[in-house]
Amino acid sequence: MARRAGALPAGVGTTLPVFAVRAAGGIVEDADGNRFIDLAAGIAVTTVGSAAPRVVEAVTKQVADFTHTCFQVTPYESYVAVCERLNALTPGDHEKRTFLVNSGAEAVENSVKIARYVTGRDAVIAFDHGFHGRTLMGMTLTGKVMPYKHGFGPFAPEIYRAEYSYPFRGTGDLTSTLAFLDKTVGAANVAAVIVEPIAGEGGFIVPQPGWLAGLSQWCTSNGSLLIADEVQTGIGRTGAWFACDHEGVVPDIVATAKGLGGGLPIGGITARADLVDQVHAGGLGGTFGGNPLSCAAALAAIETIEADGLIERAQAIESTMTARLRAMQSSYPVIGDVRGRGAMIAVELVGSDGMTPDPDLTKRIAAACHQDGVLVLTAGSYGNVLRFLPPLVISDELLDDALGVLEKAFASQSR
């Protein structure tokens, strides 16, 4: 940590000051031999585990064959195969096209580029509690000022922010959101509405049923495009391939990253073919996008999810976790809300009025879990959400153990 402080800027944060030396099967081991139960999965990335056998094998083979050519210079088959898989797996039966980038932020950037290109419009609607990355566009779309935006402006123009549906806090009613779009921005100016189907960094907020579908219908009626940012929710995390599937919503553009690469950096933009095929040749791309190692890993990760029944596993994790957390809620009223889908579950911590956010308690519970060997993350616009993102390969035994540690943390910290 001392070397880190001397070599890195202070602005790069650390959740847990331990250095990983290996990780697999829901355990992260540090340089001192401490073993942590992993309820973070590298922020929803290692969905298939941190050293999934198929991923290790595919990447090992690929690294010996070739590391890079740049797909735009001399293509390779695995890139095309990843695009085919995403075209098939993303919501909707329409004809689609996919291209690959390096990160979630880049997938978001490109989604917005395409939407503006094909609509010829400027305005993009994002939501409070939204997170879309740390590049200029990603940061502009992101709702939370501290730590993501403070001091980093000026921001990209023509981004408007609407209220996200937040059932626990009773805000973000669809009718008023649509009225805002019509009256304040003007439907004819809106290129795209970009939305996380479950707000991730914002605190695993699951919008009111029908809210996403309402946005989707509004977009269709007004010639605006719906961009689903499935960077955190996608690729099996929520107990479906994509979180939009739970709501029967078919977006025009889907941005993916995180879980797609089994731990290697890759992002995807999957769009309606009739739209994205309008963009001129050479208008989209990048040096590293869809690197061969990342493509090999992505194909192996998708195969692992299919062959090992990990979508069903995410659903089972949801049942186990929500049952245990609801039981804890009846003993610890500081747990105001238990929510989420699949292996994307959170609790929102509140004061004695049942509503006032309690970020200090949230920090203390997280610290107590870390002290007892369970890696949990916090989230939420008010910093009062504990979120759980286990790899889908975690065993019931480890999950149970971790929930026991969490319960102990509530017992020691919440009075």
Binding residues for ligand PLZ, how many (CB under 6 A)?
Answer: 16
The residue assigned the tokens 């990780």 is 23
Q: Does 124 bind ligand PLZ (CB under 6 A)?
A: no
CA distances 261 to 109, 387, 414, Å, are 19, 22, 38
185 burial level (CB within 10 Å; 0-12, 13-18, 19+): middle
CB of 161 to ligand PLZ, least distance (A): 15
Residues 313-372 that bind ligand PLZ (CB under 6 A): none
The least CB distance from residue 120 to ligand PLZ, in Å, is: 25
Span interacting with ligand PLZ, options 101-109, 281-289, 365-373, 388-396, rule CB under 6 A: 101-109
Alpha helices in 191-289 (DSSP H): 211-222, 273-276
Of 355, 372, 351, 371, the C-alpha closest to 414 is 351
Site residues for ligand PLZ, 201-220, by CB under 6 A, read 201
- Stretch touching ligand PLZ by CB under 6 A, among 70-78, 98-106, 167-175, 337-345: 98-106
Which residue from 38, 109, 196, 252 is in contact with ligand PLZ, where contact means CB under 6 A?
A: 196
How far apart (Å, rounded) are the C-alpha atoms in residues 272 and 250?
10
Q: Is 231 in the site for ligand PLZ (CB under 6 A)?
A: yes
Return the residue of 23, 100, 192, 257 that touches ligand PLZ, per CB under 6 A. 257
Quick check: 105 binds ligand PLZ (CB under 6 A)? yes
The interface with ligand PLZ within residues 23-62 (CB under 6 A) comprises 43
At residue 409, the 3 state secondary structure works out as helix
- Regarding 131 and contact with ligand PLZ (CB under 6 A), the answer is yes
126 near ligand PLZ (CB under 6 A)? no
Instruction: Please tell me the distance from the alpha carbon of residue 385 to that of residue 347, in angstroms, as a whole number.
Output: 6
Omega of the bond leading into 391 within 30 degrees of 0 (cis) = no
Q: Which of 26, 49, 172, 200 binds ligand PLZ (CB under 6 A)?
A: 200
| Part in contact with ligand PLZ (CB under 6 A); list of ranges 3-11, 129-137, 294-302, 373-381 | 129-137
Nearest-angstrom CA–CA distance, 298 and 303? 8
**Contacts with ligand PLZ, 71-90, as mask; x by CB under 6 A:** --------------------
Cα 302 to Cα 54: distance, rounded to the nearest angstrom: 10
Out of 18, 70, 117, 134, the residue judged to bind ligand PLZ by CB under 6 A? 134
CA 156 – CA 1 distance, rounded (Å): 35
Q: Given its phi and psi angles, is residue 236 left (phi above 0), alpha (psi -120 to 50 degrees) or beta?
A: left
Instruction: Select the span of 32-40, 72-80, 178-186, 193-201 touching ligand PLZ (CB under 6 A).
Output: 193-201
Q: Is the dihedral of CA 124, 125, 128, 133 positive or negative?
A: negative
Footprint of ligand PLZ (CB under 6 A):
43, 103-105, 108, 131-134, 196, 200-201, 229, 231-232, 257
